[in-house]
Structure 1
Amino acid sequence: MEPKTHKYFSIPAKYSGSTVEDLELSIQKYGDNVVRMQLLNRVHKKQCGTQLKRFLLLAGLASLYYGCVLTLSERSPKIHQAHILYPAILWLLLAFKILRNTLDLVHSEKIFYSWDLALQTETVRTFGRKSVFCVQRGHLHDIVLNEVIENLDIKYMLILRTKGSMFNERPIIPLFNSLSPSFECLKQIHLILHGYWLNNNLNKSKKD
């Protein structure tokens, strides 16, 4: 079965007045027990390009500055001189911040849910860097869509509530939180996950 795709706005895109959806949700169902979902950042390349332009601009300004210093200086400049050392430190700090922001950009978020096995989340960042987290079925308590207040603003979060030994370590686990999807997107994801969760629990109860 081909995956179904839906396009949504992220919260930052909505606030900026964007007219083009920046998120794409792909849903692949495998029977009644397994589902795989991916939330793709459609503007990841554009975001990386923006960071690259900032780095090149910073490098250009640094080259221009040191070119002027070398041209106007009567003596050979020394690295310990204030007008050489301090701008270099500032440039390195700004360059490090740009690099870190680029590496932290999220390309996609994925969830693989099997009622018989576990729920696994995967976040893919720039250059394919992945972070994976898995919760076994016996530690899954519920999947809820919560209203929270963040920076004096109301937003919605999809939350996995745990139980058993996992509860002491991580009582709640945010799902699809890195890309800040809108309420409509989270609601669609919640309906699918909760449907699989409730339907299988009901079927199990009937069999018992």
Structure 2
Amino acid sequence: MEPELTRKRFYSLGAKYAGSTEEDLEVCIKNYGGDVVRIELVNRLHGAQCQRQLRRFLLLLSASTVYFISVWRLGDNFISIWQPRILYPIIIVATLAIVIIRTALALVKTEKLFYSWDMALQTETVRSFGRESVFCVQRGHIHDIVLNEVIENLDVKYMLILRTRGSMFKKRPIIPLFHSQSPSFECLQHIYRILHRHWLNSDKDRSEHAYNKDAPVSVASQSSSNL
């Protein structure tokens, strides 16, 4: 049976603060049945972001090449790497190059989540050049999924978190979901509704958690500071 596929676009916090007129995130929902769902958060501007870092690297390389050729042509016959006019620029160029490369490697292309009541919850983050990180939580270690309010850098933000239990709670009591791309509250709210619907449909015996998809999302207030 083909999964039911829905797509919806949202802004990230960075795009919102920058006043962007184009949604930079896309949520893809693949519904395989009552308790199986795959959610993918796609960074639509990943290619443009990589190109921007590449242009910065090429500009740095060009400027440093021009500088060192000028020093070599206008300087004396003996040039040592330990000379301040050589050593300090090398350190600055190397530092900037490392920052640019690390920024490019850290760019997130997609964040994926697969949930099945019979199996587990698995998250996967795909970064530049296909670098992947996968994390899995067994069904028995899942306590709840909460849309949480936090204070970070004197700003109120929202995070979608998975609360664990059992032996997993001692290692990682809270696992952020879809946090790498800083999605807006509306995006997290949409994902929360999908996840919570499947969570409750797969656990129908919990009558105290009766779900109404048209009701407002409840937010667990748990303030923290990261100054």
TM-score normalised by structure 1 residue count: 0.96
| 1:70 and 1:76 in contact (8 A); partners too | no
| 1:156 and 1:183 in contact (8 A); partners too | yes
| 2:27 and 2:39 in contact (8 A); partners too | yes
* Distance (Å, rounded) in 2 between the aligned partners of 1:145 and 1:84: 52
* Distance (Å, rounded) in 2 between the aligned partners of 1:35 and 1:26: 10
User: Which residue does the alignment assign to 1:18?
Assistant: 20
Shift of 1:76: 3.0
Range that drifts further, 91-100 or 79-88 = 79-88
User: Which residue does the alignment assign to 2:202?
Assistant: 200
Q: Which amino acid letter does the alignment assign opposite residue 186 of structure 2?
A: E
Shift of 1:182: 0.7
- CA offsets per residue over residues 73-111 of structure 1, 9 Å max, x none? 121312222211221121111101100110000001000
User: Which residue does the alignment assign to 1:153?
Assistant: 155
Aligned match of 2:139 in 137, 146, 170?
137
User: Which residue does the alignment assign to 2:215?
Assistant: none
Task: Report % sequence identity.
Answer: 60
Q: Map 1:68-87 onto structure 2 (within 5 A).
A: 68-87=70-89
- CA offsets per residue over residues 127-174 of structure 1, 9 Å max, x none? 000000000000000001011111111111001000000000000100
User: Which residue does the alignment assign to 2:59?
Assistant: 57
| 2:117 and 2:202 in contact (8 A); partners too | yes
Q: Which runs of 5+ in 1 are unaligned?
A: none
User: Which residue does the alignment assign to 2:32?
Assistant: 30
Q: Which amino acid letter does the alignment assign opposite residue 27 of structure 1?
A: I
Over the aligned positions, Cα root-mean-square deviation in angstroms equals 1.2
After the TM superposition, which segments of 4 or more aligned residues of structure 1 sit over 4 Å from their partners?
none
Q: Which runs of 5+ in 2 are unaligned?
A: 208-227
The structure where helix makes up a greater share of residues is 1
Q: Which amino acid letter does the alignment assign opposite residue 192 of structure 1?
A: I
Q: How many residues align?
A: 205
Q: Which amino acid letter does the alignment assign opposite residue 163 of structure 1?
A: R
* Distance (Å, rounded) in 2 between the aligned partners of 1:167 and 1:157: 18
| 1:143 and 1:159 in contact (8 A); partners too | yes
